[in-house]
Amino acid sequence: MKELHRIIRDSSKDIYTKLDELVNDFWEWSKSQKHEYEWETEYDNWTTIHTIFSELIETTGPSYWSQKTIHNLLYIIAKDHECEILINNLCESPKSFLFLAQEGLFHSDLDVRWQLAHYLIKISEHYSEAEEVILKFADDRDEYVRRRAMLALGYIKSQYAEEKAIIAWNTNLEYQRIAALEVLYQIKSKKLEHYLKLALNSEFEYVRSNAERIINDLI
């Protein structure tokens, strides 16, 4: 802990070097951990990471970032997926957020991809590019990322939300169908009634129960 506080105070090191050292410390610590549920939250020095991350985002921009810095930012956002503090901080710098979202489209860790897809809703009102990036996440290779992106499209009332919801329904995957119903409900789709009828006869219990919930909300 003392060593990491020293990193913050050391004026001889630039902000990028400080981030490098903090990410490396987390990486070394992670190798000794069992990667079970919420294991990342056991790390002792998240407050230090939050401080350096915020300073970097607030005082620099993508034109100054090396590939190593970009990798570090995406890596540590992924590891903060239980608390989502870093991604929330990133929302305060929309242009940097959009840049990292594009860079994160093919990142190996789904825990950064779904966060980027979801939190783009926070800047979508003023940055139309956000919808374009969410659409790309909606075609992600991972089911959970696709689902979060589709829900984000519904939240911002995207013109593409209905299309993506129907595609999701046709996968015949339980959670895709649950999300599809929610999106159709959120955008007040004319096709909602049809899919609610299908959902009430679904083989999946949670699809049926979510259809019943939506119907009750509509009454």
Residue pLDDT, tens place only, 172-218: 999 999 999 999 999 999 999 999 999 999 999 999 999 999 999 99
**How confident is the model at residue 78, as a pLDDT?**
98
**How confident is the model at residue 56, as a pLDDT?**
98
**How confident is the model at residue 113, as a pLDDT?**
98
**How confident is the model at residue 11, as a pLDDT?**
56
**How confident is the model at residue 27, as a pLDDT?**
96
**How confident is the model at residue 154, as a pLDDT?**
98
**How confident is the model at residue 10, as a pLDDT?**
53
**How confident is the model at residue 6, as a pLDDT?**
54
What are the CA-CA distances from residue 124 to residues 10, 71, 117, 160 (Å)?
38, 24, 11, 14
Instruction: Note the helical H segments in 80-173.
Output: 85-90, 94-104, 110-119, 129-137, 143-155, 161-169
**Side-chain half-sphere exposure of 39, counting CA atoms within 13 A:** 11
pTM for the full predicted model: 0.92
**How confident is the model at residue 12, as a pLDDT?**
47
Residue with tokens 């890596």: 75
In whole angstroms, what is the distance from residue 18 CA to residue 82 CA? 23
Residue with tokens 């259809």: 211
Amino acid residing at 117: A
Given a cut of 70, the residues of the chain with pLDDT beneath it are 1-12
